[in-house]
Structures are given as C-alpha cells and as structure tokens.
Structure 1
C-alpha cells in the first residue's frame, strides 16, 4: 500500500507537535544565552538527548508497533509492567502539569492576571475534551495546530537571526556538550518518544487513516519520525543560536528564577524580532505548543491503562479524568519548581529509557533477553549515585564516583552499560558458535 503524501505530512506534523511542549520552547534560548561562544557544542549535546534518542524511539515503535510494554518485556514481564506504570505516572505528574504552568506564567497571567488554579482548570478541561475525542487528535493537530506553531517559530528564529548583531557572550559552561546532553533530559523527549509513539500507533489504527498493513504503518511511522526529527533539529538549533546571538542585547536578570529568566529572554527575542506583536505571538505559541503535548501525554496514558484492563473504554475515560485532575493540582506549582522536582526523577528513569530505546532498534541477534537484562540492570545500578548525589551530596559518595568515568557529569551509567553490552554480546556469540 503506497503511503499518501497527505497522511505522511499529517502524521509528521502531529508527531512534531506531540513532542514540542513547554520545555522544548523555553529551554533552548537560555541554554544558548549561557553557552555564548560555545553555542554550537551545546547544540550538539542537546541534539543527542532531545532529537536523536527520541527519533530512535519512534523507529523502535515503528518496528514493534505495540505498546510501551513491548519496550521492556525482554527484561521481564514484571519489570516492563512496573516500568510502564512509572513512566506514565511520571508523564502525567511532571511534564503534563509543566505545560499548564508554562502557559499560565508566560501566556495567561501577564495578560489576564488569573490564578494558577483557574488557568489549570480551564486548560485541562479542554485537554480532556480533546482526549475523549481521540479519533480526531491526529488530524486536528497535524492539519491545523502544528503548521501554525511551526510558521510562528520559524518567523521568530528567521527574523531574529537576520536582525541580530551576531555577537555572543562568554560561555558559562566548562563542558558544553555534556551540559547540552543533560539539558536535553529536561525536554522529556525520550520519555515522550515512548509515550506519544504509542499514541501514533493507536491513532493509525483508526479507519480514517487508511493505513492497515504492518509494513505500511512501519514505513509511515519511520518517515514521519525522520521528518519530525528534522523539524525539531531546525527549531532547537535556531532557538539556541538566537539565544546566543542576543546575549549581548537582552539583559537576563541573574537574580530571577530560572523559569522567569527563560520566559523573559524568549519574550525579549520575540519583541526584538516581531516588535510588540511578539508578545502576542509568544503567548499563542506557548499555549498551542504546551496544549498539544498535554493532549499526547494524557491520551497515551489513558491508552495504556485501557489496554492493560481488557480494552475498557470506561478505564480510558477514568484514566483521562484522573490525569487531568492531577494536572490541575500539580499545575499550581511554578515552572521552575516542577523542573527541580523532575531532575532526580530524570536522572533515574532517563538512562533506563535510553538503553531500552537503543536496544529495541538493534537486530534480534544482538539484543537478546540476556543482553536486555544485563544492560538494564547495570544502567539502573550506575544511575543510583547520580540520583543520590543530586539529593544528598557527600564526600564519601564523591570518593566512590571518582572511580566511575563521567560520573561527575551525571553520566556514570554510560560506559558500564556499553561494556556490559559488548561483553554479553560476545558471550552470546561464543555460546552460539
């Protein structure tokens, strides 16, 4: 079955929009601003965890065409069940409410002066309406919302670069690539890949998409993933570079919280690019980008628990309602507070998610059940010091982690996981021979 261009574009735009939320818009400009002359190397690191890994996750979904449960079942069914529940709880408890917090702080409160409670209540009521009409999600987001978001983003970036003096400040980062990698964690894009990828799979199963054969869906998802990834790359690189080149023109008050620094910088860039109209553009842009991401997260969570409990539509509705209520409650926190809560969670769950994504795109002979178990266990063990070090740093822990390569950059799990993967693969090969 040939994939029609219309279906490809709709799916690509929808996938891009489900990825692109609050953190994706707010994090890159300040990252570039602080990176200054080293903005290119920060961009390289950021792309690894915010573009490459998430798109590999979509490719894994294209191959599996199942649910998130399929990502971890080679480790063990129990592990996969626990992992899935953790991922979906994290998704509805942190990134989903964060979209409401960002929308309130940047778009709604400055214009209307409303309370976070009112903003979150209206916001998640609308999210719930869209999620309960999920058969229309792909078409609505892909045909209408995302093109508008992309056009506005490109306008801000293009006009911003064309009017910039191209003068950068001094970098504040000792290791810009590593800083970019860790900042990419906060986009939640790797977690987003395994969550919204499942949304795409389910949505493609609706009759109006006209894609039914396994290979046709695989081709569509893969091509959509590459197109969405290219879009994310252009937007991220543009936002980071604009932040870097406006470093000498826009004053960011270091005494403000990180979220206000991000908001003020992005607002300054928008106004410098589009005049006072830039404020309106920014408000609309933030609202739409956050809203589409929240829809994807809530729909993905409801889909999972629906499938877990006998494909019950009642479970889908109840899960969506609970996720939206949780979003309203947590959405009372400010954007920066949610990020601070998220960091230790990300240091724990992100490495496991990354290795599961990478293992699921490898050939079966390289990614056996033994390899899955060994790599995930080692990744889990070597991620623990990063979490403890963030929550309760001590000299004793520093002494222990000093023997682990890259541990000081919160990447102590990388080399052990790679070594175990190679050794386990060689062991399997020797046994086979």
Structure 2
C-alpha cells in the first residue's frame, strides 16, 4: 500500500492543533513578565528561555513519535510496568484535575470575568463560569475526532488572531525602546536565568501527555502507523518554530512596556496593563477573550489526553467515564480554592520533571544502547533521590528545621542542586555506569563464544 502524502494544509492543521493544546495562559503571559524583568538583557534571556520553553517540548514530541507510544506509559514502560503506570497516573493527575485544568478556568475567570462583577459575587460567578467552562470542554471532547476540528481549525486561529492585533499595535506604537532597566536576577547571567524560567513552564511534561492526542488526530487524517512519527515530527517542528517567534514578540512587548509602566507583580497584570493601554476600556474585555480562548484549548487537550491514556492503562474503564472524572474533578478543585493547592503542585512538578526529561532523552537515544532496560532503570534510579530532594526544597515542609538541614546538605554536596538541577550529574553517572556494565558484558560474551569455538 502506498503511503499517503502529507499536504501543506494538513501539516498546518496538525501544527495548529499541537500549538493550541499546550500554548495556554501561562505561555501567553510568562514571556511578557520575562521581558519586563530582563529589560535591556532581553536577548540572552529569551535565547535561554527558548531552550527549555520550546526545544524540550519538541524533544518530548519526538520521543513519543520515535517510540510509537500510545501513551505516557509506553515512554516509561522500559523502566518497569509499575513505574510506567505510576508515572502515567501521576502526570495526568497533576496536569489534570489536581492542578492543570482547574488553573485554566481560574485564570480565564480572574482575567476575563472577575473584573466585571462585584467582589461579593465572585464565588457564585466562579461556580457558574467553571461549570460552563468545563461543561463545554466535556461536550466538545466526547468524540475524540472532534478535537482537530474545534482546536486546530477554529479556536486556535481565533486566539492567534486576537493576539496578533495586540502585537501589531505594539509594533507600530511602541511604549518604549529595548534599553530598559534590568532586574537583579538578569544582570550577571541573563541567559542561564532564562533557561531556568523556561524549565519552570513544565511544557516538557505536558507534551509527553498531550502528544498522544495528536497521534490520534494524525491517524484520523488517514495516515498509516508507520507514517505517524515523521508527520508528527514535521508538524511539531513547525509548531515549535511558531511558538518561538511568538515568545520573542511577547518578550519584546514586555520590554517596551517598561517605557510606560513599572514591572508588574506578574505577567497577567502586565499583559492586562498593556492591552488596556492600547485598547482603552475595551482592553480588559479583549484580554479576557484572548486568555479564555488560550486556556480553553489547553483544557480540551488535557481532557482528551487524560481520558485516552488512562483508558489505555485501565481498559475496563471507558474513555467517557475518565472524561467525566476530569471534568467533574476539575470543576470541584477550581471551586475549592485553587490557591490552597498551588503550594503542593510545585513540589509534585519538581519531582516529576527530572523523570520526564531523562525519559525523553533515553527514548531518543535508545537505539544506541539497544533499548536496554538496565540503562533505563539505572538512570531513573539515580535520578530518584535528587528529584525527591528538589521536591522537598520546594514544599511547605521546608518550614521544618530537619528539612532545611537535609536540603542544605544536598545543595552543598550535589552540583547544580541549588538551582533545581541536582538530578543532572546523578543521571549522567547512572548512564555511564550502566553503559560500562553493558560494554563489559558484551565483551565477556564474545570471549566466552570464542573460547567455546576453540
């Protein structure tokens, strides 16, 4: 059978789907804040940010495509069945009903609805808004095939169109130049600080989970299984390039805004100020529409990925049932006080991200060590303890004197640990050690075979 040819229109459609599913409100407002903080050193900071904000998510897409994974479980399975299952559930609960999807509705409400209603009705307003938000997301994702139509073809282009209007006004009517003041963190090493900022977006984890939805969409367009990795790689690259361009424009928007405003407390406030500056009283409403569209596409992607992956892991439970779980769970969490779980979500993500990064790299290089489970298990094993300590360092437990002593010792003796990268050196040690064992074992086997022949 002849492989189906990928048309330019299909490539753009799939790339738009990828872009729309993980480019949410955080990705919209964080580069603006980066621009305000980095000021005149924006270029180095942006280059650093793009490394972990775009390259890592793209590598996650490639990891899913080259391993032909149907879920996060397949990426982690070489370590062991139970690790793969645990990793899958942990990721989806974290970016799903425990934190990720509730944040989408909370962000949309705070920036698009809350400014227009009285403070005493905020609770009721959030209840109604989140019910409509998650109800619509559920309705549009009941049929998996509808994802490409709604996200890739309609919602994402509309969001980009509204954002383009803002960026166009900023281009022709800049608020200031790029020679702006630089905050302390970006004065001596802006590039490295940018890398850390991009690392904290956690898009690498999200793309490991969301990529499976794109695989389904690609198959739905009539491509064979053998074609999916190449199509996914091409579309992913196009999406990442577009994201990098948009990130750079948003950073410049933040830098130039310092000509009119002081650096805001967060990127959301900064973005709202900028839009209001250009659009007057209409600005707040426009911001609400842009942000709501951005986070809604992300919520849809998280819904489908959660239901698909968990249904594959637990086939006796239907896709529809898991979809109901994330819809209802997200609704409850969003209204139970999202700020109360933020303190716990950060350490959970700090625990998961090192595992995600090493699994991405192992998946991309597996052919060079013959997909040996020993290498997978060794690297993941060496990463486990520093990942736990990084999580501890970011947790509320740091108020304990014992926790402070443990973390201080960890930061003192393990390279890069004070920056949140304490897992890097142990991962290298685990990889080198296991590869040395494999090489020694191979040599020993060859010698044994030679001796037997003689």
TM-score, shorter chain, exceeding 0.5? yes
The number of residues matched between the two structures is 422
1:169-196 CA-partner distances (Å, limit 9, x unpaired): 2223155344333433443311211111
CA RMSD of aligned residues (A): 2.2
Report the more deviating stretch, 263-272 or 100-109: 263-272
State which of 402, 411, 414 in structure 1 corresponds to 2:424: 414
Partners of 1:333 and 1:33 lie apart in 2 by: 32
Tell me if structure 1 keeps the 8 A contact 2:36–2:263. no
Q: 1:424: how far off?
A: 2.4
Tell me if structure 1 keeps the 8 A contact 2:410–2:417. no
What is the aligned partner in structure 1 of residue 112 from structure 2? 107
Tell me if structure 1 keeps the 8 A contact 2:303–2:326. yes
State which of 398, 401, 404 in structure 1 corresponds to 2:408: 398
1:232 is the counterpart of 2:243? yes
Tell me if structure 2 keeps the 8 A contact 1:347–1:386. yes
1:26 is the counterpart of 2:29? yes
1:138-175 CA-partner distances (Å, limit 9, x unpaired): 12211122122223323323432441321322223155
Classify the secondary structure of the residue corresponding to 1:187.
coil
Larger radius of gyration: 2
Report the more deviating stretch, 314-323 or 41-50: 41-50
Tell me if structure 2 keeps the 8 A contact 1:178–1:409. no
Report the more deviating stretch, 323-332 or 39-48: 39-48
1:342 is the counterpart of 2:342? no
What is the aligned partner in structure 1 of residue 209 from structure 2? 195
What is the aligned partner in structure 1 of residue 298 from structure 2? 293
Equivalent positions of 1:242-253 (< 5 A) are 242-252=253-263
Report the more deviating stretch, 347-356 or 383-392: 383-392
Report the more deviating stretch, 285-294 or 385-394: 385-394
Partners of 1:350 and 1:325 lie apart in 2 by: 26
Q: 1:251: how far off?
A: 3.0
Q: 1:63: how far off?
A: 1.4
What is the aligned partner in structure 2 of residue 143 from structure 1? 153
Partners of 2:374 and 2:360 lie apart in 1 by: 16
Partners of 1:419 and 1:44 lie apart in 2 by: 28
1:322 is the counterpart of 2:336? no
What is the aligned partner in structure 1 of residue 134 from structure 2? 124
Partners of 1:186 and 1:337 lie apart in 2 by: 20
- Which blocks of at least 5 consecutive residues in structure 2 are unaligned? 444-454
What is the aligned partner in structure 1 of residue 450 from structure 2? none
1:374-411 CA-partner distances (Å, limit 9, x unpaired): 11111111112212222215145313321111111111
Q: 1:224: how far off?
A: 0.7
Equivalent positions of 1:260-275 (< 5 A) are 261-275=266-280
Equivalent positions of 1:154-193 (< 5 A) are 154-162=164-172, 163-166=174-177, 167-173=179-185, 175-193=189-207
Classify the secondary structure of the residue corresponding to 1:110.
helix
1:300-326 CA-partner distances (Å, limit 9, x unpaired): 11111222233x6x6211111111111
Equivalent positions of 1:44-83 (< 5 A) are 44-65=47-68, 66-83=70-87
In structure 2, relative to structure 1, the CA distance for the partners of 1:305 and 1:387 (3 Å cut) is closer
In structure 2, relative to structure 1, the CA distance for the partners of 1:413 and 1:339 (3 Å cut) is same
Tell me if structure 2 keeps the 8 A contact 1:37–1:171. no
Taking structure 2 as the reference length, what is the TM-score of the superposition? 0.87
Tell me if structure 1 keeps the 8 A contact 2:176–2:258. no
- Which blocks of at least 5 consecutive residues in structure 1 are unaligned? 255-260
Tell me if structure 1 keeps the 8 A contact 2:104–2:298. yes
Classify the secondary structure of the residue corresponding to 1:170.
coil
Tell me if structure 2 keeps the 8 A contact 1:124–1:328. yes
1:15 is the counterpart of 2:18? yes
